[in-house]
A and B are shown apart, each in its own frame.
Chain A
Amino acid sequence: MLNIVRKLGAWALSTLRKMGDMLIFLTNAVYFAFVPPFKFRLLLKQIRFFGNKSMVVILLTGSFAGMVLALQLYYTLRKFGSDALLGPAIALSLIRELGPVLAALMVTGRAGSALTAEIGIMRISEQIDALSSMALNPFRYLIVPNLAAAVIVFPLLTAIFDVIGIFGGYVVAVDLLGMSGGTYFSQMEVFVDMKDIRMGLYKSLSFGLIVAWICCYKGFNTGYGAEGVSKSTTEAVVTSSVLILIWDYFMGSILL
């Protein structure tokens, strides 16, 4: 009995310490994000990194998400005799919820994992130590560019995901289910508010921050050897994905 309590206590303490560690990491990164000199070239490089890695998978999943939504929502809406609202239903689901979440999950799997692996390799091959030994701050060179790039890129990729998804839905609705294309779009204009778009934007911005934070942190604190890198990569993807869904719920309940 005492043993269980002790183990629980040790677990709680180590979890608390890890969370504190992660918060300090984030604070540091945010601090250096606002203190010059800034590394704009590295920022551009990381924007390209995120975009390049994720574009194809965003286009693919976006279009299929829209198509699936069209099928499912059409079936539901027709039961209530409101299948004319298919367009806005798809758009709202995508813009408010599925776009930010799915895009974030996809970018995590594609670019986030690569990011953790890259930083992890820099850690174990002493490249991060080399930066420090030159009196150059690794946060400035490695962490800040990624954080800033993610905050810029996530909303953009989400927007692309939404648009592609809406067109995917259009193809299914009009070509397959025989809806009129005019209804699909005109109703959308009526029902989608600026408020919805803002919600999607806030979500994707915060997801960008979360993913870059977790992936950078895990890479930066990689353990020994190739094993360490593969472990932190897995952890980064799992932790990011879980946090995305939890945070999504919180945002949803606050911004509703």
Chain B
Amino acid sequence: MIEITDLIKTFDGNRVLNGVNLTISDNVLMAIIGKSGGGKSVLLKHLIGLLKPDSGKILVDGTDITTLGQRDMDKVREHLGVLFQGGALFDSINVYDNVAFPLREKTKLSEAEINDRVVQALNDVGLKGVEMKFPAEVSGGMRKRVALARTLITEPRIVFFDEPTTGLDPIILSSIHRLIMTTHKKHGFTGVIISHEIPEIFDVADRIAMLHEGVIVETGTPDEIRNSSNPIVAQFISGGLEGPIAAV
């Protein structure tokens, strides 16, 4: 269970999070939507302890992670999987080693067992024959899928996905969504997906939260969000130019 209360974060006078309140129950797949530059990635970095808020609390299973020191934070992170927006693959090692990396560093599995799991994980994201390539040598969409394989390979209890499907073609998008759902059913992790895929994300997530101007303006089931009477939410999911959200 993740409970975010009154989270505030300012970067040199730029108030990005302005009192975020959000609760994510165990085994729920929560999607966060909201406009570009709205602070979704910043919120996620607070959830993994990479950024410290100006004020507010983040309780993960009851412990406030905003006050944890590095060592205790690392204990929480043992159970996390994070897919960064840019993939964050290590560019000095090849695809195979990237996916194997968390297993090699965090577990005592033998190379043979690691090999089985890496092949399986790459297979799951639809990648074959790119094991020996370096991240710079594969396409952006492939990089994203390698990163997804690396995130899920440790079977984490809590998983954060920052735009797992942005920049992928519609077929791969569907298959990544399906992969996330089947993995979620199989391992039952608590998940947060930041996504711009509307309406596809409504079929993936259990709950949707919309972040706007530094606060969560609405949370609900996909159906509730779809039928929301909140003009901000309604404009955002319909992509309309008229409404409370200023178009550029």
Contacts and interface: CB of A to CB of B under 8 A. Distances in A.
Interface of A: 118, 121-122, 125-127, 129-130, 132-137
Contacts of B105: 134, 136
A129 B84 contact: yes
A122 B45 CA distance: 16
Contacts, number: 49
Interface size class of B (residues with CB under 8 A): 20 to 34
Interface string B38-53: 0000000100111000
Contact of B77 (A122, A126, A135): A135
A129 B89 contact: no
Contacts of A125: 86, 88, 91
A125 B92 CA distance: 13
Contact of A127 (B80, B82, B91): B91
Contacts of B203: none
A1 B121 CA distance: 66
A12 B102 CA distance: 43
9 contacts: A121-B91, A126-B84, A126-B86, A127-B89, A130-B90, A134-B101, A135-B78, A136-B106, A137-B74
Interface string B76-106: 0110101011101111100000000110011
A122 to B, nearest CB: 8
Chain A at the B interface: SS class: helix
A129 B101 CA distance: 15
Contacts of A135: 74-75, 77-78, 80, 106
A125 B82 CA distance: 14
- 9 shortest A-B CB distances, which residue pairs? A130-B88, A135-B77, A126-B88, A135-B74, A133-B82, A126-B84, A133-B48, A135-B78, A127-B88
A132 B50 contact: yes
Contacts of B106: 134-136
B102 A129 contact: no
Contacts of A122: 90-91
Contact of A129 (B75, B78, B80, B88): B88
Contacts of B70: 137
Contact of B50 (A121, A127, A129): A129
A145 to B, nearest CB: 12
A135 B48 CA distance: 10
Interface in B11-59: 45, 48-50
A136 B82 CA distance: 13
A21 to B, nearest CB: 16
A77 B42 CA distance: 67
Contacts of A130: 82, 84, 88, 90
